[in-house]
């Protein structure tokens, strides 16, 4: 196992102060949003705004850096935004399709990690088991990024709150509501909402709430930032006066066998005009995509004036640019 630099292991520098986020994040992994401190999350967001505003400044910041992506699940936005991100920062993307062969099956993750760290600068994983990502991170000396697991989707959450900051100026004290399955996306959204001081309400059916340990973790963070985490079963109560209403598919990848069972359970949680009418008049609608049209959300909402779903999709690239720059030390190479 190779040790990596860690913000949490650094108490004092020679100057007697903690390192900047650019210093503390260099060489780190992103397995969970909770891996980063509040200051570090804010640094990623600040840099994402800057990269989006002036992309030319960062054109060669990751010159000759190599990024490998191993995906066990199909992807449109995650793959293309990561490839576009590093390519436009001067680096290169290598894609490995693992949809037919789960990682760790042909060769141990430890052995893979010890090979990969000698060839590439960063490893991006889209997997089923979250443990695949944490184990790779344990053994690889280079940064490992969670591009989706059964537990979290941190890159999506970064892009989503980048979108909210663009719309509202800040996430602090924002009323953010997620309705639907308490899944991996929901977990990361709760954690980043807590990090940024938002008031997050999750409305989900009984037995489909987010994991209790993630809720407890998010609440502990929110206690420090002035945010809050609330769980309810009634979707109307959840959406009441919300600034942002977010939903995801009712059946995530890996749970396709539950489609018939879940459909009637989640029907009351469909985001339609009637449900959105309970949110604040200025509220935005959000979805990580792909959407099952007229299932978890109606066409009228998805294509309507409140929808920011395509802004979210675009911001995947900008948020991931910022993440790659910070993890790979590219902020020192800005022109």
Is 288 catalytic? The answer is yes
Choice among 35, 160, 181, 248 that is catalytic = 248
Of 98, 156, 217, 312, the active-site residue reads 156
Catalytic residue among 287, 316, 318, 320: 316
Given 288, 312, 318, 320, the catalytic residue: 288
Q: Identify the active-site residue in 28, 79, 126, 318.
A: 126
Neighbours of 79 (CB within 10 A): 18
Residue 248 appears among annotated catalytic residues = yes
| 126 is an active site residue | yes
Q: Exactly one of 28, 77, 79, 153 is catalytic; which is it? A: 153
- The torsion of the CA quartet 154, 158, 160, 163, rounded to 10 degrees, works out to -170
- Is 156 labeled as catalytic in the residue annotation? yes
Residues serving a catalytic function are 126, 153, 156, 248, 288, 316
């Amino acid at each position: 196992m190779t040790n990596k630099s860690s913000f949490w292991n650094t108490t004092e520098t020679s100057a007697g102060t903690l390192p900047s986020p650019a210093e503390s994040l260099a060489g780190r992994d992103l397995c969970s949003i909770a891996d980063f401190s509040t200051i570090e999350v804010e640094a990623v967001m600040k840099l994402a705004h800057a990269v989006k505003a002036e992309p030319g400044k960062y054109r060669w910041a990751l010159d000759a850096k190599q990024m490998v992506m191993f995906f066990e699940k199909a992807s449109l936005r995650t793959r293309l935004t990561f490839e576009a991100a590093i390519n436009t920062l001067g680096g290169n993307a290598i894609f490995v399709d693992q949809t037919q062969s789960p990682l760790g099956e042909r060769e141990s993750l430890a052995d893979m990690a010890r090979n990969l760290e000698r060839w590439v600068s960063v490893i991006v994983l889209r997997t089923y088991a979250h443990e695949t990502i944490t184990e790779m991170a344990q053994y690889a000396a280079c940064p490992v990024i969670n591009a989706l697991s059964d537990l979290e989707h941190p890159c999506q959450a970064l892009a989503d709150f980048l979108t909210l900051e663009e719309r509202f100026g800040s996430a602090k004290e924002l009323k953010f509501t997620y309705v639907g399955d308490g899944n991996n996306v929901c977990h990361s959204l709760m954690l980043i909402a807590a990090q940024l001081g938002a008031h997050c309400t999750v409305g989900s059916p009984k037995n489909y709430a987010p994991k209790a340990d993630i809720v407890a973790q998010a609440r502990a963070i929110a206690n420090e930032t002035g945010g809050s985490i609330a769980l309810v079963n009634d979707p109307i109560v959840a959406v009441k006066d919300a600034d942002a209403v977010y939903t995801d598919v009712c059946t995530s990848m890996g749970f396709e066998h539950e489609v018939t069972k879940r459909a009637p359970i989640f029907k009351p949680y469909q985001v339609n005009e009637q449900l959105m009418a309970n949110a604040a008049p200025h509220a935005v609608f959000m979805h990580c995509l792909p959407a099952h049209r007229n299932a978890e959300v109606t066409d009228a909402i998805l294509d309507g004036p409140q929808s920011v779903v395509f802004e979210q999709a675009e911001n995947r690239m900008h948020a991931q640019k910022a993440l790659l720059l910070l993890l790979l030390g590219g902020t020192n190479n800005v022109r």
